[in-house]
Copies of this chain bind each other. A is one copy, B any other.
């Protein structure tokens, strides 16, 4: 969730056209407090048949490519999307409920990571760091009995 973000400016800041659909997609992602799947986003926007599924995927790819949006993998089959880390949003781990598919953002300092000398010596290029915990959320735990 981002209350400080001007989505139009965000899009313009990476030198792409802030089209209506791109804005809508980024808004859906930004106004949500947890990451969403492409299909979640599509369904949200398609309430009034206003966008095509393929367009959603293409916009997501673009926003990820421009580092405005973060593509987060789950233990499940679909990727989820959330606002990329920036000054207002520190990078943070996620929790994925393997029962209901809900994904939550965890506080950035629930875990502290120290990447020793590793990063300096790694022979390839590292673009991204992802950390995820899988389990059963409290709601599903309750339902279980």
Contacts and interface: CB of A to CB of B under 8 A. Distances in A.
A135 interface: yes
A18 to B, nearest CB: 27
Contact of A141 (B124, B130, B133): B124
Contacts of A74: 73
A98 B128 CA distance: 10
A128 B135 contact: yes
Interface stretch (A4-12, A36-44, A50-58, A108-116): A108-116
A131 to B, nearest CB: 5
A129 B75 CA distance: 10
A137 B115 CA distance: 18
A126 B130 contact: no
A128 B73 contact: no
A27 interface: no
Interface in A92-145: 95, 97-98, 106-107, 109-116, 118, 122-138, 140-141
Nearest to A97: B124
Interface string A27-66: 0000000000000000000000000000000000000000
B124 A134 contact: no
Interface of A: 71, 73-75, 95, 97-98, 106-107, 109-116, 118, 122-138, 140-141
Please list the 5 inter-chain residue pairs (A to B) with the smallest Cβ-Cβ separation, ordered nearest first: A110-B118, A123-B138, A126-B135, A128-B134, A124-B137
